[in-house]
Amino acid sequence: MQYEAIKRQDTEVYEAIMGEEIREAEGLELIPSENYVSRAVREANGSVLTNKYSEGYAGRRYYGGQEFTDVVETLAIERAKKLFNCQFANVQPHAGAPANVATYFALLEPGDTIMGMDLSHGGHLTHGHPVTYITKIFNFVRYKMKDVETGEIDYDAMLEVAKKERPKVIMAGFSAYPRELDYAKFAAIGKEVGALVIADMGHISGLIAGKAVKNPFDFGFDVILTTTHKTLRGPRGGMILTRESEEIAKKIDKSVFPGFQGGPIMNTIAAKAVAFEEALHPSFKTYAAQILKNAKAMEEVLRARGVRMITGGTSNHLILADVFGSLGVTGHEAETLLDSVGITLNKNMIADDTRKPMDPSGIRFGTPAITTRGFKEVQSARVAELMVDALEQRADKNKLESIHSEIKELCKAFPVPESFV
């Protein structure tokens, strides 16, 4: 029996875990930054490696007893390098945001300028939003889309700002941008102003590993920052990849430890190693490609049903929909309503949103998790139909009950798999 010891020792935690297990089994996860991991990844994450402190790096630890921790960290590094075609990898960051901040401190001095995507146009908090403490240390300037209906970045304006502000780092990355970035243009702008170009690929690293989208390293990027969950389908954690500069890699290693973190979470690093091996399997390429196909299938339904999508659709794993403008329902209302019928997604601001962050105009959703369950285009399109039906007929309790029943049947037909290889 799973969780037998927890059940005997702590019934309150046990009941919460079992509740979450039922929720995941009976509902559809559409939050684009979430996914299901294999049993092997969960077992590694819950292993005895949680007992071990391992400050330092393989072969250079501060404590003894590291023969097995060195094995798992080295495996994770070598597999990450192979997945992303780079020469250096640091797998110790506890999460994506700490990986970003450690990289800033590795490569910059206080007061230096960083250029990143504006949060309101799809960027991430760590790319310079004023609510973050990191903006007290570094100077951030931002770029935006030129046209929110197509998603085209204003690269001409980017270049002009870069010439004026002379950033030391240009960040290419996002958390709610449904298109691919033009990495060649980023690299060209970086070269012209003498800036390092860094890609924050937390959302699409699995798509890169699966060869479904372009790899920024192929365009001369210096560093890739990423989480290890989301499309990469590993444990929650972070990672920093360096294309070829040993000097940059050494600075990053020193910044992560001892500069920014203490002991690495070795059980999570073991789980990263397991997930990276799964991503090296040929089936992962099929999975990554299917994520994009499923997102396109959902896009087609929304377009046919008259739902406005920021950037006009998607070229990756996620969609950002203006439900307030299209259906007269706020993002918060849509999130709550869809949760009640077994569809989990998140409210999200749209570009130049006039509403507040906790009750915005949009919703953000994607296909990594349902693709893990085995959904293809037909099932993905049906989910999109059900979403719009629920939002359009939100006052009809019988209709909502019918939709919830259909979602449960879909979940039974496509259970969460235990293994991917």
* pLDDT of residue 121 exceeding 80: no
What pLDDT shows up at residue 159?
A: 96
> Do 116 and 241 belong together in one domain?
yes
Total count of residues recorded for the chain: 421
Annotated catalytic residue, options 61, 142, 230, 251: 230
According to DSSP, the residues that pair with 366 across neighbouring strands are: 318
How many Å separate Cα 399 from the centre of its chain? 33
Average pLDDT over residues 386-412: 98
What pLDDT shows up at residue 139?
A: 93
Distance CA 115, CA 155 (A): 12
Annotated catalytic residue, options 61, 168, 236, 364: 236
Domain boundary among 222, 252, 279: 279
pLDDT tens readout for residues 246-302: 999 999 999 999 999 999 999 999 999 999 999 999 999 999 999 999 999 999 999
> Do 254 and 350 belong together in one domain?
no
Distance CA 306, CA 320 (A): 14
Whether 37 maps to a domain, the answer reads no
Please say if 155 is a catalytic residue: no
Question: Is the omega angle on the peptide bond into residue 258 within 30 degrees of 0, that is, cis?
Answer: yes
Per DSSP, the three-state class of 88 is strand
* pLDDT of residue 337 exceeding 70: yes
Lowest mean pLDDT among 132-136, 159-163, 381-385: 132-136
> Do 62 and 186 belong together in one domain?
yes
Please say if 200 is a catalytic residue: yes
What pLDDT shows up at residue 21?
A: 95
Average pLDDT over residues 176-198: 95
* pLDDT of residue 145 exceeding 80: yes
Residue 51, exposed/middle/buried by CB under 10 A (0-12, 13-18, 19+)? exposed
pTM (two decimals): 0.96
Please say if 109 is a catalytic residue: no
Whether 101 maps to a domain, the answer reads yes
Please say if 150 is a catalytic residue: no
Cβ-based neighbours of 15, under 8 Å, separated by 6 or more: none
pLDDT tens readout for residues 17-51: 999 999 999 999 999 999 999 999 999 999 999 99
Cβ-based neighbours of 42, under 8 Å, separated by 6 or more: 271
What pLDDT shows up at residue 118?
A: 83
Domain boundary among 246, 279, 312: 279
Mean pLDDT of the chain: 96
pLDDT bracket for residue 1 (50, 70, 90): low
What pLDDT shows up at residue 408?
A: 97
* pLDDT of residue 199 exceeding 90: yes
> Do 275 and 291 belong together in one domain?
no
- Structural domain including 363 reads 283-413
Annotated catalytic residue, options 69, 103, 126, 227: 227
Please say if 236 is a catalytic residue: yes
Task: Write the DSSP assignment of 271-294 as a string of letters.
Answer: HHHHHHHHHTSHHHHHHHHHHHHH
What pLDDT shows up at residue 123?
A: 79
**Residue in this structure with the two tokens 């990053």, named with its chain if needed:** 252
Average pLDDT over residues 196-204: 95
Counting the structural domains of the chain, the total is: 2
pLDDT tens readout for residues 266-278: 999 999 999 999 9
What pLDDT shows up at residue 219?
A: 97
Annotated catalytic residue, options 24, 55, 154, 392: 55
Domain boundary among 244, 262, 279: 279
CATH number, domain with residue 233: 3.40.640.10
Distance CA 193, CA 416 (A): 48
Whether 20 maps to a domain, the answer reads no
Side chain identity at residue 165, one-letter code = E
Please say if 227 is a catalytic residue: yes
Lookup: tokens for 15: 């009941």
pLDDT tens readout for residues 58-113: 999 999 999 999 999 999 999 999 999 999 999 999 999 999 999 999 999 999 99
CA angle 269–270–276, rounded 5-degree value: 85
Cβ atoms within 10 A of the Cβ of 394, count?
19
What pLDDT shows up at residue 122?
A: 79
Distance CA 331, CA 347 (A): 5
Cβ-based neighbours of 45, under 8 Å, separated by 6 or more: 37, 235, 267, 268, 270, 271
Annotated catalytic residue, options 73, 200, 322, 389: 200
Annotated catalytic residue, options 14, 24, 42, 53: 53
